[in-house]
Amino acid sequence: MDTTLSPTDLAALINRCTGVAVTSDQVCFSQQSFDELGVDSLGLMGVVAELQRNHGMSRGVDVAPNQSPRELLSLLTGKV
Amino acid sequence: MTRRVAVTGLGVIAPGGLGVKAFWELMTSGRTTTRPITSFPAQGFRSRIAAECDFDPREAGLVTAEIDRMDRYVQFAVVAAREAWDQAQVEVADPWRVGVCMGSAVGGTTLLEHDYVATSGNGERWLVDADLASPFLHRALSPASLAAEVADAVGACGPVRTVSTGCTAGLDAVGHAARLIEEGRADVVVAGAAESPISPITVACFDAIRATSARNDDAEHAARPFDRDRDGFVLGEGAAVLVLEDWEHARRRGALVLAEVTGFATRSNAHHMTGLTTEGVEMAEAVRQALDQAEVSSADIDYINAHGSGTRQNDRHETAAFKRVFGERAHAVPVSSIKSMIGHSLGAIGAIELTACVLALAHGVIPPTANLDTPDPECDLDYVPHTAREEDLRTVLSVGSGFGGFQSAVVLSHPERS
Amino acid sequence: MSPAAVITGLGVVAPSGIGVESFWPAIRDGRRSLGPLTRFEPNPYPVVVAGEVHGFEQSEWVDGPIAVQTDRFTHFALAAAKMALREADLDPVDVPPFGFGVITASYSGGVEFGQREIERLWRNGPEHVGPYQSIAWFYAACTGQISIGNGLRGPSGVLVADEAGGLDALAGARSELRRGATAMLVGGTEAPFCPYAICCQLGHGLLSPGDDSTTAYLPFTSRAAGFAPGEGGAMLVVENADAARERGARARAVVAGYGATFTGPQRYDRSAEGLERAARSAVAEAGVDLAEVDVVFLDALGDGRADLAEFEALRSLFGGRLDQIPVTAPKTGYGRCYAGTAALDVVAAVLALDHGAIPPTPNVDECRFDLDLVTGPAREGAIHTALVLSRGLYGGNSAVVLRRPEPNEGGN
């Protein structure tokens, strides 16, 4: 399992999967939700699928558009 | 004055019911046809269930050259078109006045995928080897070939086209065909839709957005529109064809008129490619427009054939839309989803649903919503659970929603409506 | 009688230019925009010459999140729609809520996006297919994205009738206007140049195998050997003439008449009668006389039998007057863009009416039929009525008549 995903990596991954520009600062500090950032439900499914495929995120974990990238990162570093 | 549009023939290929008679028996039985996928080995997929047609093209009357040339969905369409054409018994005086309007959402995906696998060596080559492609592959790229085959099957030389508005394509194709008659561009239009989407790429793309049901160990109860325990739609396949005819043209030749297409409208939600609004404003608007065109009020609608795909989002969306149009009366109008029995065949289903509506008008029977054991508390209308219901029907409404944000509505009336 | 349907805005993404400001001079001057197919390399296929769109900066036209979830054909459509709205000076918020719809024509859908995703499926497994495959590949992607991107909640449609679909879509838009819509965005775009899409197209047998971009696509000549495929297309704003006049918009052309017939896939001998009948219906519906037609924009398939059939259709239509009617096919300069083709022909015709000049048929300098085919420089002179012809690969024949608007229709 890959537990070394940094905020920068996650920001880049979100950008790649959804086309929404997210900074590592936003991942670390902002409370803005995926929804508010402009990541829709399909985009978020793409992010989650990518994390599951390549970053060892467990299949049981789900993320909703009203959660933030910061919450996602803590899910990853905490639970993975 | 705009011309009236009669339905004078029906043909259908649906899971569990090849031909109108078998289809209607299924519709009134409340049986479901959803089952584990047999079309390809589905292990490894999230959703491994579908409603498949047990269709043997040769038994269905197609000859070798047709079988070789036509993708599965085109075979469905041509067989359904021949059934409808036989019933209508149109004697074509002028083929230039006969049109075709067929719908499909994903067209020739089955053949496209089959030949992709062959030419790419299971996905190994970006520069595919064209020498390994079937000589008919080009027909799969463009579903214009669908309408062309149907046109040839009935000898049509008028306006011929394929409509591809995703999952409203079946309703839209029939609506568009009716307009060709209303506007005087044709006297007869063979209208309908076909789809054979049960292939790995289509299953995988719905897996990726979790739109389809993963109730893999209970396939026959997997399509559960309006039920609390639903978890998405079940993919289906099939085709339906209606012969539409200028009312006077049909009357002059003494044809048996099965129903009248009285209203059609489509609106977009401009909201999201797959998402629906919770309020159902655009679907309500499409319904109102269709009712206006039909010159009926919401009080005249005796039955609503719902989109009822069995996703939570859809079921709540259209329930809201019906309440918006029908107000308090929404609770008194029977609503049902035949997708509970035959799955969701994407572009084809709208035409199959309209066929069910014509039969419902003719027989005075409303097909039920199967598997509706415990209604979603948000969905509190009369969804005709489990069992078909006898009812005198004069005017019925069929609605659909499609990826792309499309909302369509068709109104059909009993031939003796006035 | 209901008000006319008038064209008020044009958006173009074509091999010969992005935006009408580039497209018009290019086609007026007969500029050649065909070249080697470079979308993938190496190119192992027996089609070398194509019309590619170069210099298209997707980020200029499509937001990042939308770009990720759409194919190149939708990028073209979104860009062309934006240009058309800008040209029409029409903000959708000023149109009644359900009064603005979209109809697009498509031939091959988002096939490059689709090839990438299906490759992931077969190479890596089902869970590698992304969430956007479900909305990027299918034929309805452009109509849906244009509707969402511009807040258009009116009647929408998607037609697949290959090249002819572009004209069928225009007629569909006109029908919606007659039924109460205020404005429609209509057209078609295509991006058919990924390897698998080329592999599919090879089967129709009409792609020119020539490797010289100046001779690969020479319809109506003795050297006709098929067509060069193109990418791109056009979107147009079509409005209810009264609504357009009320807001002070300039009507550039009236969509006056339409006709469509079917004569079967590649049955060219029969397409002569089919095209003729479609054209007669269009002219009759337009309420004009055949003698009033000032120019014909040709289908120009580039197959000897098909060219002959088109010539025969014209001869039956115009009889002995045929050699006095200028006919042209600007698409020989940039290729046949499938469902984008007829939309581009309509744009070319509108620009011709507007500028009083008939753009030529680039690369073609002889004609094996007794036709007044415009070659060389553009033919100048007032044009009031244009006939546009189109045939689909699977047998559709469509025709549209465009005419200059009268002053009471917003013309000037």
* CATH number of the domain where residue A74 is located: 1.10.1200
Number of domains chain B contains: 1
- pLDDT value for B417: 65
Q: Hey, is the C-beta of B209 within 8 angstroms of any chain A C-beta?
A: yes
Q: Would you state the CATH architecture of domain C254-406? A: 3-Layer(aba) Sandwich (3.40)
- pLDDT value for A76: 84
- Which of C160, C175, C264 has the CB atom closest to B164's CB atom? C160
Residues in contact with C259: Cβ distance below 8 Å, sequence separation at least 6, in sequence order: C277, C278, C279, C280, C281, C282, C283, C284, C285, C398, C399
- Please compute the mean of the pLDDT values over residues B244-253 and round it to a whole number: 97
For B45, list phi and psi in degrees, rounded to 5. Answer: -95, 155
- Please compute the mean of the pLDDT values over residues B93-111 and round it to a whole number: 96
- pLDDT value for A60: 79
Q: Hey, is the C-beta of A42 within 8 angstroms of any chain C C-beta?
A: yes
Residue B284 lies in a domain: yes
Q: Which candidate, B242, B209, B213, places its Cα nearest to that of B348? A: B242
- A32-53 CB burial, b ≥16 within 10 A, e <16: ebbeebbbbbbbbbbbbbbbee
Is residue A80's pLDDT more than 50?
A: no
- Which of A20, A49, A52 has the CB atom closest to C65's CB atom? A20
* Count of all residues that appear for chain A in the document: 80
pLDDT tens per residue, range B77-90: 999 999 999 999 99
Residue B124 lies in a domain: no
Tokens found for residue C170? 């225009």
Residue B268 lies in a domain: yes
- pLDDT value for B212: 98
Residue A2 lies in a domain: no
Q: How far apart are CA B258 and CA C308, in angstroms?
A: 45
Q: What is the mean pLDDT of chain B?
A: 97
Is residue A2's pLDDT more than 70?
A: no
Alpha-carbon B399 to chain mean position: 10
Is residue A24's pLDDT more than 60?
A: yes
Residue A1 lies in a domain: no
- Which of A17, A19, A38 has the CB atom closest to C67's CB atom? A19
The structure tokens 């008194």 sit at: B332
Long-range CB contacts for residues C211-214, cutoff 8 Å, separation at least 24: C211/C48, C211/C49, C212/C49, C213/C32, C213/C34, C213/C35, C213/C36, C213/C49, C214/C32, C214/C34, C214/C363
Distance from CA of A42 to the nearest CA of B (A): 6
Task: Answer whether B141 sits within 8 Å of C140, measured CB to CB.
Answer: no
- C90 vs B418: which has the higher pLDDT: C90
Q: Looking at chain A, which subunits does it touch, using at least 3 CB pairs closer than 8 Å as the criterion?
A: B, C
- Which value, in Å, is the radius of gyration of the alpha carbons in chain A? 11
- Please compute the mean of the pLDDT values over residues B337-347 and round it to a whole number: 98
Fold of C5-246: Peroxisomal Thiolase; Chain A, domain 1 (3.40.47)
pLDDT tens per residue, range C105-160: 999 999 999 999 999 999 999 999 999 999 999 999 999 999 999 999 999 999 99
Q: Is the dihedral of CA B400, B401, B404, B405 positive or negative?
A: positive
C5-246 and C254-406 in the same fold: yes
Residue B137 lies in a domain: no
Range of the domain at B40: 5-108+143-413
- Stretch (H or E) spanning B319: helix B312-326
- Please compute the mean of the pLDDT values over residues B26-41 and round it to a whole number: 98
Is residue A3's pLDDT more than 70?
A: no
Residue B85 lies in a domain: yes
Q: Which candidate, C342, C296, C268, C295, places its Cα nearest to that of C105? A: C342
The angle formed by the CA atoms of residues A39, B346 and C68, to the nearest 5 degrees, is: 25
Contact call for residues B314 and B321 (beta carbons, < 8 A): no
Distance from CA of A48 to the nearest CA of C (A): 11
What are the residue boundaries of the structural domains of chain C, listed by start? 5-246, 254-406
Residue C17 gets the label, from left (phi > 0), alpha (psi -120 to 50) or beta, of left
- pLDDT value for A1: 45
Would you call the peptide bond into C42 cis, given omega within 30 degrees of 0 as the criterion?
yes
- Please compute the mean of the pLDDT values over residues A25-37 and round it to a whole number: 91
Say how many CA atoms lie within 13 Å of B315 toward its Cβ: 31
- pLDDT value for C409: 83
> Which portions of chain C are predicted below pLDDT 50?
none
Task: Answer whether C122 sits within 8 Å of B147, measured CB to CB.
Answer: no
Cβ atoms within 10 Å, residue C55:
7
In this prediction the ipTM stands at: 0.97
Contact call for residues B5 and B244 (beta carbons, < 8 A): yes
Q: Edge to edge, what strands does the sheet with B235-236 contain?
A: B34-36, B49-51, B235-236
Residue B228 lies in a domain: yes
CB contacts, 8 Å: B210 with chain A: 45
CATH number for position B13: 3.40.47.10
Tokens found for residue B145? 């070939």
Q: Looking at chain C, which subunits does it touch, using at least 3 CB pairs closer than 8 Å as the criterion?
A: A, B
Q: How far apart are CA B171 and CA B163, in angstroms?
A: 10
CB contacts, 8 Å: C140 with chain B: 105, 164-166, 402-404, 406
- A79 vs B168: which has the higher pLDDT: B168
pLDDT tens per residue, range B258-312: 999 999 999 999 999 999 988 999 999 999 999 999 999 999 999 999 999 999 9
Residue B26 lies in a domain: yes
Number of domains chain A contains: 1
- pLDDT value for B271: 92
Range of the domain at A18: 7-79
User: Which range has the worst mean pLDDT, A68-77, B152-161, C13-22, C300-309?
Assistant: A68-77
Classify burial at B166, counting beta carbons within 10 Å of its beta carbon; exposed 0-12, middle 13-18, buried 19 or more.
buried
Q: Hey, is the C-beta of A43 within 8 angstroms of any chain C C-beta?
A: yes
Residue B133 lies in a domain: no
